Amino acid sequence: MALTVLALLGGMPSALADPSLDSLALAQQRAADALEAVTVWRGPTSGPKASPGKVIAFIAEDLRNGGIAGALRGAQEAAKVVGWTVTVYDVAGSDAGRQQALRNVQILHPDGVIFGGFNAQNYAPWIDNVVGLGIVVVGWHAAFEPGFVPGTQLFTNVASSAREVALAAASFAVVKSGGTAGVVIFTDSRFAVAQAKADDMATIIRNCAGCKLLSIEDLNLDQVQAEMPARLASLDRRFGDAWTVSLGINDLYYDAMASIPDARADLINISAGDGSRSALLRVGTGLGQTATVAEPLNLEGWQLIDELNRAFHNEMPSGYAPHARLLTPDALTGTVGEDFTYDPPNNYRQMYRQIWGRE
C-alpha cells in the first residue's frame, strides 16, 4: 500500500486549520518528510498480464506543461513494453483544440483514453458516452486527488496527492524564510487541482505567525509567457522588498520568469509541481528556482498503462498514489539523471514488467 498523505504530513489534518500549533516546527517536520528519498516500491505487486495490440489515445491539455509531457513520455515507454500504440492529441490549452481532439478520439475508437491534465468532471457526459462504446478512460491530474473521481466513469485518476505536494512546498517556504516569508502565490483557477493547491498553500502561510500572504495571483498557465512581465512589474510596485517568496502551482511560472532579464534574483521561488526538466535545471544551478515538489512523472506514465490494463481485465484500480518529493539542490544527487528528470530509484519498471509478464 502507498503511504497515506496523513502519514507523510505528520498525521494531523487539523494542522491546516489550527494556527495555535508551532507553525515553524510543523513546517520543518513536513519539509523533512518531503525531502526523504523514495527507494522502496510501495505500489502494486500483482495484477493481470498484458496482451499486446491495444490502441491508446492520450489527450494532452498542453504539452508545454512539463508535467503532462513527462507523464506522456512514461506512458509511451511503458506502452512499448506491452506492445501498445499511443496516439497523442495536444490541445495546447484551447477549448477549440480540446473539442476537436474529443471528436477525433471518438472517430479513432481506441481501446483506452488518457485524459492528460484537465478536469474529468467537466467532461463527464463525454466519458459516459465513450465508456458506453466500450472504451476505458483514465486520467492524469484529472481531479484534485488521485483515485476515484465522483460524478464520472473515469476508471481512476493517476497523481500524487495534491495536498501532499502543496503542503510540502508551502512548508519549505516557511522553513527557508525562517518563518518570515512575504508570499505571493501563482495559480490557475480554471483547474480544480491548481486552486486546491493554492488554497492549501495559502492556509499554511496564514497559519505562520511571522509570515504574510501578500497576494494570490490568478494567471492562466497558457498565458503565462505573455502576461508574466507585466504581472511581475505590478507586484514589485505593490509590495517591493516585502515580497520575499513566490509559490507556484506549476513550474511554468518560473519558466516565464527565467525569460525576463530584469526579474528579481533575490526571490525564493518554490513550485508545488511538477518537477519539469527546466525546473530541475534551475534548481540544480541555483538560478531562478529554489525548489520544486516533483512527482515521479515517468513512473506515473507507467502507472497509467497499468491502470488501463487492469480495466481491460475488469479488475479494480490499483489504488496507488505515488509519493512526490521535495527537490532542492542537495536532494538532486541520485534521483535526477543527466537528462534532468526525477526518476526515483524504487525499481518501478521491473515491478510493472513482472506484473505484466514482460520480464
Q: Is the pLDDT of residue 212 over 60?
A: yes
Percent of the chain whose pLDDT exceeds 70: 94
**Angle (CA) 148 216 223, round 5°:** 80
Query: Which DSSP letter does residue 317 get?
Result: P
> What pLDDT is stored for residue 18 in this prediction?
52
| Averaged pLDDT, 125-137 | 97
Q: What is the pLDDT of residue 178?
A: 94
As a whole number, mean pLDDT of residues 197-214 equals 96
- In this predicted structure, what is the pLDDT of residue 1? 33
Instruction: Tell me the C-alpha distance between 259 and 58, whole Å.
Output: 30
Q: Are residues 169 and 122 in the same domain?
A: no
Same domain (yes/no): 28, 121? no
CA–CA separation, 196 vs 193, rounded Å?
5
Whether the pLDDT of residue 5 is over 60: the answer is: no
Q: What is the pLDDT of residue 177?
A: 96
Judge if 116 and 168 occupy the same domain: no
Q: Where are the alpha helices (DSSP H) in 83-223?
A: 95-108, 124-132, 162-176, 192-206
pLDDT at residue 51, rounded to an integer: 95
What is the reported pLDDT for 204?
95
Q: Mind giving me the DSSP string for 153-189?
A: --S-EE---HHHHHHHHHHHHHHHTTS--EEEEEE-T
Asked, for residue 327, whether it belongs to a domain, the answer is: no
Residue 334 confidence (pLDDT): 80
Burial 80-105 (b: 16+ CB within 10 A, else e): ebbebebebbbbebeeebbeebbeeb
The tally of domains found in the chain comes to: 2
Q: What is the CATH number of the domain that holds 12?
A: 3.40.50.2300
Mean pLDDT of 115-131: 95
- Structural contact between residues 137 and 130, judged by C-beta atoms closer than 8 angstroms: yes
Cell of 159: 497523481
Is 127 domain-assigned?
yes
256: in domain: yes
- To which residue does cell 515538489 refer? 293
pLDDT at 335: 84
Cα–Cα distance for residue pair 168/290, rounded to 1 Å: 13
The per-residue pLDDT for range 320-329, each reduced to its tens digit, is 999 999 999 9
Q: What mean pLDDT is reported for the chain?
A: 92
Domain edge (last residue) among 253, 274, 294: 294
Is 24 inside any structural domain? yes
Q: Distances from the Cα of 343 to the Cαs of 37, 119, 128, 195, 255, in angstroms?
A: 11, 26, 34, 27, 21
Q: How confident is the model at residue 199 (pLDDT cuts 50, 70, 90)?
A: very high
Domain membership of residue 93 (yes or no) is: yes
Predicted pLDDT at 22: 66
- Is the domain of 119 the same as that of 219? no
Half-sphere exposure of 78 (CA within 13 A, CB side): 31
Judge if pTM exceeds 0.95: no
Question: What is the C-alpha separation between 175 and 30, in angstroms, rounded?
Answer: 10
> Does the residue 328 lie in any domain?
no
State residue 359's pLDDT score.
86
C-alpha cell at 242: 516585502
| Confidence check: pLDDT of 20 > 50 | no
How confident is the model over 141-173, as pLDDT tens digits? Answer: 999 899 999 999 999 999 999 999 999 999 999
Residue 7 has pLDDT above 50, yes or no: no
pLDDT tens-digit map of 320-358: 999 999 999 999 988 887 788 899 999 999 999 999 999
- Report the percent of the chain where pLDDT is more than 90: 85
Can you read off the three cell numbers belonging to residue 274?
511538477
Domain that holds residue 304: 55-159+297-322+347-356
Task: At 322, give phi and psi (nearest 5°).
Answer: -60, 145
Asked if the structure places residue 227 within a domain, the reply is: yes
| Span 276-292, average pLDDT | 94
Distance of CA 26 to the CA centre of its chain: 23
Does 334 map to a domain? no
